A and B are shown apart, each in its own frame.
Chain A
Amino acid sequence: MQVVINETRYQVEEETSILQLCQMLGIKIPHLCWHPDLTPEARCRMCVVEVNGHVRAACHTPVCDDMVIETDSEKIRNYRQLNLELLLDGDHTFNLEEDNEFSRLVRELNAEGSLGNGRTNGANIDASSPALIRDMNRCILCGKCIQVCQFVQQVNAIGFSNRGHDMEICPVFGKSISEAGCVYCGQCANVCPTGAIREKDYIEEVKAALLDPSKMVVVQTAPAVRVTLGETQNLEPGQVMTGRMVSALRKLGFDRVLDTNFAADLTILEEGTELIHRIQYDKPLPMITSCCPGWIKFAEHYYPDLIPHLSTCKSPQQMFGAIVKSYYAQKIGKRPSDIVCVSIMPCTAKKFEITRPSMNVSGRRDVDYVLTTHELGRWLNAEHIDLKRLGDSPFDPVMGMSTGAAAIFGSTGGVMEAALRTVSDLLEGVDLQRLDYEQVRGAKGIKESALTLGNREIRVAIAHGLGNARILMDDLRKGTSDYHFIEIMACPGGCIGGGGQPKPTTQSTIKKRMEAIYNADRSLPIRKSHQNPEIQALYETYLGQPGSDKAHRLLHTRYNNRKKTLGDLKDLEI
């Protein structure tokens, strides 16, 4: 095909939309509702171009032979200005300086609008959930949140309601988000161009804790944060920032910088032991991982009959919280009430997880505040802390050491691979050479594999994205599933594609982050969880054996059937 774009002739081979073609050619076309991983719905109409003299939306118009395309004619520029004026009407608390997709676009196109004059002014802000804020005063109805919720995650917590100028995006029957069966994966917040759906911000609370001299504030950092934090400062995706991240956190004033990866290793020991136990004693199989709070809430709402399959292990974040306010407190001679535990997570559902009633073995919340990667980036930018200029700094001891197995927790397939490294060693009773399980890696939505561990065949499956999880769970419910072990992560790509990660998160950024994760794994001296000396010390001096009574009290949990309420409020323990 031959097309002419802005008076230059191009030869085009593959079938593509005008917008994608222009992006490949480096021709800028503004857009808001288009996302590379979603089907174009052409709602915002920012991407209009002239095609053979007609105005067309570039995002859903396929390139045809002999097209003459104008992306920047006077007419088009005028239309974009008018369109932005209309969109600015929809966003009432618009702030030109803010760092979001919409503000950037308005800055770029230098648009003028009549603010606060239009549609949804005065809508209530839905702050009913601990994880997400819905502020419909800011919504420009691009519909991306609905697309990810309905088609990628298949949760259907939000949808369009009403028509025309009264149209809004809301949970069913105008309920609050906490009553709508939302799992707080935050994928909606990740694609939102204005911040109409965004994570609930706890930066101020954390700052207050840092200023309180009676408190010792410890911070833990999730495996997926170190490979994405750079993106919040416009660095290329896929850079491992572990040392600089630790330095930055120290600069912010945290008393101890510890590592969730330590707890990830701990999780593997508990979960691996549980798996072996389940196989040996004919307990419900397959066992399904429980690291992902979005997935757990999803299972509680939509597959409560499968709860016996969920591993009883807490997530690494909560294991960390439980240990930091018991073992660690004891070690450093502090009372648990004097410790404030903050975690930096790629995830919005983690903000909900800390509020679960069983997550308070120390008598108070094990983890006090969760900040997402996105929030931490915003905080660092506000404090003018430039990651590029920081040197590396190590984690603090006792709960700062981790292995390659923990590093890969951030990627889909990572928990599975980490568990396999440990379980195979435990079953064989030797230190196996084998470290890489390529068949559980990669971006495929559902991965499956059969392995021989010890003298047994172990069949495993991995799903990421809740739409894919539904497929595996429906099979399990029907009884057509013969796996031993299933790993599920709510977000596409696993935690590296989490709802709290820097924007934009797309298949291509996920791929780069994934490469970084596996590079981090390879670069570590120890790559099996059970060989982590700090973990060995924890068991020797405090917990006893994996799966011991004490370990169960601190590191395991129970789940609730949420089928009837679809809400968060009635957290009755089963």
Chain B
Amino acid sequence: MQILKNTKFKAFHKALSLSAEEVIEQVKTSGLTGRGGAHFPTGLKWQFIHKEKGPDKILICNADEGEPGTFKDRFIIRNNPELLIEGIAIAAYAIGANRGYIYLRAEYKNLRPHLEWAIKNHQNELAQIHFRLDIFMGQGAYICGDETAIMNSIEGYRGEPRSKPPYPAQLGLFGLPTCINNVTTLSNVPLIIDGDWSDFRLFSLSGNVSKPGVYELPPDSSAGDLLALGNPSKPIKALFFGCAGGCVPYDPKLKLSKEGVADQGAMIGSFAVIAVDEDQSIPAICRNIAEFFVHESCGGCTPCREGNVKVLNILNRLTSGDGIPEDIDRLIAWGNFIQDCAFCGLGQTSNNHVLSALTHFRKEFEELCKSSSMKPVTR
């Protein structure tokens, strides 16, 4: 696997022989995009922060890998932490950051020694660019994977997203220009600078497969390619892209790219693929996901805080066999409302699962409604 290559800070030294602008240019031309799920061009993001004036700039490595079904960052930190630290060092050099944080997910506290070891090993290189790198432990909130919520969390405030503008590039952590990159994104950087890099994607495959795990595939890979590696024992019915990405019916020819999945009304996000076989009930999975979002909503805005409870209530009713036909219309109404009106990415994506499931698997929902359409209900 490309991501397991250890460039031993060769790329870092190579980057130091270039100007910051040249490093940014290389990353730009490579076409690297954010692996956290938003797919923003990394080089462009760096350029924004590089352009900002002032002596103090901050780099945050987002290791708050909270998306259910995603575990690629864990894989990198456990198996190749030095590559990540090298990526952070190159990014810090390119944007001119003097302070950095690795925002590590609370549940990954067992990985902290790996990072500490790698940072200690390369203290000299970090000192060379006058860059201080610390590990900041999250406290277990999914929302703190949002780039602005991370900043609130590090500053000691509630883990709630901030409104944009101002963007982190201008007014970020402690009011300083701040760059926030995902672990996987940063780990690709040394490989790019080193030269021999292909735009492979790290898939986290889980669900009804006998070989779940992290797989590295070229960008034009299809669902069939990935599932062949996972070796499911039963025919696969659907793929869920984490909790926030929504679902698609399984089609071996489906291209697992941002565009390919978007065409089916879902989002590839952070390349988490949860395979669902024909024995599973899609509404039951949606109910689980809705419960997750009710639990993880920060409570900041009305649609996400109250609306997701409505969605969960309806799904609870459906899956316990008390559904009524209007429930499907109500799910769609609430889903669209939350998607459009919620404050941040969490809320806006919190109903992708039910909306895409209703596009592709409406029958399963309708069957649950039929059984008891005569029962009186309260809303």
Residue positions of A touching B, CB distance < 8 A: 40-45, 48, 54-55, 57, 60, 62, 75, 78-79, 82-83, 86-87, 89-90, 114, 117-119, 140-141, 160, 162-167
Judging by beta carbons under 8 Å apart, are B294 and A164 in contact? yes
Using A75-B340, A165-B305 as known contacts, list a sample of 9 further A-B pairs with CB atoms less than 8 Å apart, ordered by residue number in A. A43-B300, A55-B341, A79-B337, A82-B337, A114-B378, A117-B378, A164-B305, A165-B294, A165-B309
- Chain A residues near B340 (CB, 8 Å)? 48, 54-55, 75, 79
Are the CB atoms of B343 and A160 closer together than 8 Å?
no
A82 surroundings in chain B (CB, below 8 A)? 307, 333-334, 337
Mark B residues whose CB is within 8 Å of A: 141, 158, 163, 165, 294-303, 305-310, 333-334, 337, 340-343, 378-379
The 8 Å CB contact of A86, one of B294, B295, B298, B306, is B306
A contacts with B: majority SS: mixed
* CA of A63 to CA of B85, assembled, Å: 41
Residue of A nearest to B348 (CB): A55
Inter-subunit contact B299/A162 (CB<8 Å):
yes
Point out the residues of chain A lying under 8 angstroms from B298, CB to CB: 163-164, 167
* Shortest distance between the CB of B151 and any CB in chain A (Å): 15
Inter-chain contacts of B333 with A (CB < 8 A): 78, 82
Min CB–CB distance B147 → chain A (angstroms)? 17
A428–B298 CA distance with the chains assembled, in angstroms:
63
Contact between chains at B297 and A45 (CB < 8 Å): no
CB distance from A22 to the nearest CB of B (A): 18
A41-B334 contact, Cβ under 8 Å, with A86-B306, A162-B299, A164-B297: no
A–B Cβ pairs within 8 angstroms, 25 of them: A42-B343, A43-B302, A45-B302, A48-B340, A62-B165, A82-B307, A82-B337, A83-B302, A83-B341, A86-B306, A86-B310, A89-B306, A118-B309, A119-B306, A141-B305, A162-B299, A163-B297, A164-B295, A164-B305, A165-B299, A165-B305, A165-B308, A165-B309, A167-B298, A167-B305
- With known contacts A82-B333, A118-B306, A165-B309, A141–B342 Cβ distance under 8 A: no
Asked if B302 and A163 sit within 8 Å, CB to CB, the answer is: no
Q: Which of A45, A89, A119, A160 contacts B301 (CB 8 A)?
A: A45
Residue ID in chain A nearest B300 by CB atoms: A43
Residue from B297, B302, B307, B333 whose CB has the most chain A CB atoms within 10 Å: B302
Nearest Cβ on chain B to A49's Cβ, whole angstroms: 11
A166 and B379 contact, CB distance less than 8 A? no
CA distance A116 to B302 in the complex (A): 16
Most buried by B among A44, A162, A167: A167
CA distance A62 to B165 in the complex (A): 8
Quick one: closest A residue to B339, CB to CB? A55
Residue on B with the closest CB to A80? B341
- CB neighbours (8 Å) of B295 from chain A are 164
Would you give the shortest CB distance from A91 to chain B, in whole angstroms?
11
**CB pair A164 B296 closer than 8 Å:** yes
Also in contact, A87 and B163, with CB within 8 A (given A82-B337, A163-B299, A165-B294): no
Is the Cβ of A45 less than 8 Å from the Cβ of B342? yes
Per the bound structure, the CA–CA distance linking A165 and B141 in Å amounts to 14
Which listed residue, B299, B302, B308, B378, touches A87 by the CB 8 Å rule? B302
- Contact yes or no, A45 B306, CB < 8 A: no
B residues in contact with A162, CB < 8 Å = 299
CA distance A167 to B300 in the complex (A): 9
Are A164 and B310 CB-contacts (below 8 A) given A79-B340, A82-B334?
A: no
**How many whole Å from B170's CB to the nearest CB in chain A?**
13
How far apart are the CA atoms of A160 and B152 in the complex, in Å?
Answer: 14
Instruction: Report how far A4 CA is from B217 CA in the complex, Å.
Output: 47
B163 and A60 within 8 A (CB): yes
Question: Do residues A42 and B301 form an inter-chain contact, with CB atoms below 8 A?
Answer: yes
- Expressed in whole angstroms, the Cα–Cα distance for A163 and B294 within the complex equals 10
CB distance from B214 to the nearest CB of A (A): 30
Name the B residues within 8 Å of A90 (CB-CB).
Answer: 306
Say whether A42 contacts B163, CB under 8 Å.
yes
Q: In the complex, A48 Cα to B308 Cα: how many Å?
A: 18
The smallest beta-carbon distance between B344 and chain A, in angstroms, is 10
A118 vs B307: C-alpha distance in the bound complex, in angstroms? 11
**Which of these, A60, A141, A160, contacts B158 with CB under 8 Å?**
A160
Assess whether A141 is in contact with B299, with CB atoms less than 8 Å apart. Answer: yes
Contact call A86/B165, Cβ cutoff below 8 A:
no
The 9 closest A-B CB pairs, nearest first, are A167-B299, A86-B306, A55-B340, A164-B297, A60-B163, A164-B299, A82-B337, A45-B341, A114-B379
> Residues of B contacting A164 with CB < 8 Å?
294-299, 305
Closest-CB distance, B30 to chain A (whole angstroms): 30
Min CB–CB distance B347 → chain A (angstroms): 9
The residues of A that contact B294 with a CB separation of less than 8 Å are 164-165
Q: Which of A41, A75, A82, A166 has the largest count of B CB atoms less than 10 A from its CB?
A: A82
> How far in angstroms is the closest Cβ of chain A from B379?
5
Could you tell me if A43 and B301 are in contact, using CB atoms closer than 8 angstroms? Answer: yes
A118 to B303, CA, bound (A): 14
Determine how close the nearest CB of chain B comes to the CB of A190; give it in whole angstroms.
Answer: 22
Give every chain A residue within 8 A of B158 (Cβ-Cβ): 160
CB distance from B330 to the nearest CB of A (A): 10
